[in-house]
Structure 1
Amino acid sequence: MTEFPKAVSVVMRCKDEGWAVGGTLRQLFNQTFDGEIELIVIDSGSTDGSLETLAAANPAKLIQIKPSEYVPGVVMNRGAAEASHDWIIYLNADAEPVGTDWLKELLTTAIETPNFGAAFSRQIARPDCQAVFAHGLEQCFGPQRESANWEHFFSMVSSITHRSVLDAHPFREDLQYAEDDEWTRRLIENGYQIPFSEKSVVMHSHNYTLQQSYKRAFGDAKAMAATAEKPPENALTRWLAIGLGWANDTRKDLKWCAANHRLTEMPHAAAVRFYQRLGRNDGYRAGWKHYQRDT
């Protein structure tokens, strides 16, 4: 995997991303990459005009599935199977490449990495992003990102892999969340490298409600419990872990909000962090029971 490719396939997932997909498509086809960009779109029931915008971009394939049929691993495996080229980029419909070198930088990271498995782009916040979520993006993708010191971190939003990797290690098709985390952990166990392509940048952020924050944290933790070895804590330890984790999150948010002159958003940030911690804990317990049948 050392030659710079002459063609790539971009697999794009979409559902009601009409507010963003136009910008994503414009930037996708405005790259300095001189080769062919084959676009494979899988839409899971858009009703907001996304389909018309996607069709106007003349994708190689525009596949429509029902919302009830959407399972991340199934969709990504299918997207790769539909693609004509060996280098496969996954790009969410609401992840707008920043600048004209997004693709070149992502490819460069991939071809220069020995034992390459997958690579992921940096993500930055949109101008309207609420403080707690903007801070979260910096923790995951910023210049001093905390995620570099975490046990593991990966994001599928803007990422690249090779067909040979997917042929040997396809995505699990029984997870509704955290399928990218499980997949890349499995790649690492099999000797692959998973680099961060810091110079490849997309604009991607969401302002989730408290309920959405809980649901996403719940779903990720439930999926991660599918392969976990540590059982859930007892009731006392559970609430202690939630409280201490929330306090640590809030301390970091306070420091970030102060530095960025956004202290008025701290009450909202604290509420979001509590719902995230609660969802993560509840999801892990539910996942342990669901996947391992052992309480």
Structure 2
Amino acid sequence: MTSNNKASVVIPTKNPGNIIKRVLPVVLSQKTDFPYDVLVIDSGSTDGTVDYLKSIAAPNFRFIEIPPADFGHGKTRNLGAASTDGEYIVFLTHDALPVEESWLTEMVRVADQDPQIAGVFGRHIAYAGENVFVEHELKLHFSGFVPNPITWMDDKDRYEKDLGYRQFLHFFSDNNSLLRRSVWQVHPFPDVNFAEDQQWAKTIIENGWKKGYSHDGVVYHSHHYKVMERLRRSFDESYAFKRYFDYDLCATKDKLWRDWKYLTARDMDYCFKDRVWKRAPLNCVIQPFDNFARLLGQFLGNHGDSINAAWRHFLSRDTRLFKGSSNGRN
């Protein structure tokens, strides 16, 4: 397929609310020295989103609609890739807001450094007013990629033996990502309900490709879940990682309690040393419960195959959202 577009931005939507009215104008007004187009795939919005999308008159924009039942995290992204023609396919979720007009340029710049880079993921920062621990956690997480922004399997023996090394190489987030079309054509996203992005990263890493990180291709993207939502989100993640990667995020009750004590001590240290308790006291009170919910979800997800189907359905946030008002994981 021949294309004049350097990049094609693909955004899946379902009932995003007003955030899409912030995201889309920023995406359409990116400052680049290359042509790009934008495709939105809506899967049954009932909140006025479709009317809003119909009102967009930009020449490089279009949208398509699919039935809600046809949505899948990997499946819909593959549809978006197949429906565009840019050299690079750039994915955003409908609540990921580029911070700068240079966001797209920065994502492409990393990929252009080396034709062996199969994909790039960009940094996330918290929206203004977000829970302070969510903000802090995002900073800590993405700072870990700064020293080595281009990674690949440079030690096969370590890859086999070192779980942390594998997890580092497998991390990828299609909330804010770029795929090289020529690689996607060979290695599309798997059609799964969770972790399609990290399964894709595992595939490209094991096939000898490189992965890039863009610190300046940054978006606002954050969620602070209520305690029960945190447990369910954590269950989905742990259950998927156990099935797809054989990761044991929290295999025993002893580990649950050890990790809870460690995380809570770490967070309370941050709370008092950085005087978080003065500006966000409620966040400090809730955080130990949030940590426990996260770890309990990981423990239950780690043993998900031994839980009956009705309880798995009850514990799964993603399953509920697939049947509800949004596209599962945002």
TM-score tier after normalising by the smaller chain length: 0.7 to 0.9
Q: Does 1:182 align with 2:208?
A: no
Alignment-derived partner of residue 157 in structure 1: 175
In structure 1, give the amino acid aligned to 2:220: M
Alignment-derived partner of residue 87 in structure 1: 88
Cα deviations across residues 194-231 of structure 1 (Å, max 9, x unaligned)?
12100111111122111221121111222222233467
Name the CA distance, whole Å, in 2 between partners of 1:258 and 1:57. Answer: 48
CA contact (8 A) 1:87 1:163 kept: yes
Name which of 258, 261, 265 aligns with 1:247.
261
Q: How does 1:65-214 map to 2 (within 5 A)?
A: 65-142=66-143, 151-152=167-168, 153-173=171-191, 175-214=192-231
SS of residue in 1 equivalent to 2:232: helix
SS of residue in 2 equivalent to 1:194: strand
In structure 2, give the amino acid aligned to 1:165: V
Aligned residues: 282
CA separation of 1:92/1:243 partners in 2, compared to 1, >3 Å: closer, same or farther?
same
Superposed displacement of residue 167, structure 1: 1.2
CA contact (8 A) 1:221 1:287 kept: no
CA contact (8 A) 1:222 1:288 kept: no
Alignment-derived partner of residue 43 in structure 2: 44
Any gaps of 5 or more consecutive residues in structure 2? 150-163, 309-330
Cα deviations across residues 6-39 of structure 1 (Å, max 9, x unaligned)?
5311110112212211111121122211333211
Name the CA distance, whole Å, in 2 between partners of 1:228 and 1:160. Answer: 23
Alignment-derived partner of residue 286 in structure 2: 268
SS of residue in 1 equivalent to 2:217: strand
Name the CA distance, whole Å, in 2 between partners of 1:20 and 1:241. Answer: 39
Superposed displacement of residue 57, structure 1: 2.6
SS of residue in 1 equivalent to 2:85: coil
Name the CA distance, whole Å, in 2 between partners of 1:115 and 1:281. Answer: 37
Alignment-derived partner of residue 293 in structure 1: none
Name the stretch that deviates more: 39-48 or 251-260.
251-260
The TM-score with structure 2 as length reference comes to 0.77
Any gaps of 5 or more consecutive residues in structure 1? 291-295
CA contact (8 A) 1:249 1:273 kept: yes
Name the CA distance, whole Å, in 1 between partners of 2:16 and 2:113. Answer: 33
Name the stretch that deviates more: 192-201 or 280-289.
280-289
The Cα RMSD (Å) is: 2.7
Name the CA distance, whole Å, in 2 between partners of 1:212 and 1:110. Answer: 35
CA contact (8 A) 1:21 1:53 kept: no
Superposed displacement of residue 79, structure 1: 0.8
Name the CA distance, whole Å, in 1 between partners of 2:56 and 2:221. Answer: 21
Q: Does 1:35 align with 2:49?
A: no
SS of residue in 2 equivalent to 1:226: helix
The TM-score with structure 1 as length reference comes to 0.86
CA separation of 1:27/1:255 partners in 2, compared to 1, >3 Å: closer, same or farther?
farther
Identical-residue share of aligned pairs (%): 28
SS of residue in 1 equivalent to 2:245: coil
Name the CA distance, whole Å, in 2 between partners of 1:231 and 1:89. Answer: 31
Alignment-derived partner of residue 52 in structure 2: 53
Q: How does 1:219-258 map to 2 (within 5 A)?
A: 219-229=236-246, 238-258=252-272
In structure 2, give the amino acid aligned to 1:223: A
SS of residue in 2 equivalent to 1:9: strand
CA separation of 1:136/1:168 partners in 2, compared to 1, >3 Å: closer, same or farther?
same
